[in-house]
Amino acid sequence: MPIVKMFKQDAIIPIDVGPNFVRRIQQLLIFITADLPQEELDSFYEKVKKGEQKFEEDWMEHVFTLTVLLSNIENVAEKNGMTYDQVVPDKDTPEEVTPSDN
């Protein structure tokens, strides 16, 4: 019978994640949600903000997983001084934005 490695239920696994990998997770999240109506996404994120974790559709579970992963990565990065603020123009103000010097 094969043996597989399992994680202990109380394990917190520290991993190193670079900004390129974070970008890939963000792109995956965009890819998964690209064809969903904005109203469905808004409704989903409202449920998440309220702390709900039971979802009616499979895509919601997957988006929730990626959202939690990104949130945890961002929180650790911010706590460790690895982030900076940058102005991002919206679609109505197409001005050029350069990265800050932070």
- What are the pLDDT digits (tens) for 48-93? 999 988 888 999 999 999 999 999 999 999 999 999 999 888 877 6
Does residue 55 sit within a domain?
yes
- The pLDDT, as a whole number, for residue 101 is 53
| Rg (alpha carbons) of the chain, rounded to whole number | 17
**43, part of any domain:** yes
* Number of domains the chain contains: 1
pTM exceeding 0.85: no
Look at residue 40 and tell me if it is in a domain: yes
46 in a structural domain? yes
Structural domain including 57 reads 36-79
Q: What is the pLDDT of residue 94?
A: 60
66 is a domain residue: yes
Please check whether residue 100 lies inside any domain of the structure: no
Read off the tokens for 101.
């010097």
Domain for residue 2, yes or no?
A: no
Return the beta strands (E) in the chain as ranges: none
> 63: buried, middle or exposed (CB in 10 Å: 19+, 13-18, 0-12)?
buried
27 within some domain = no
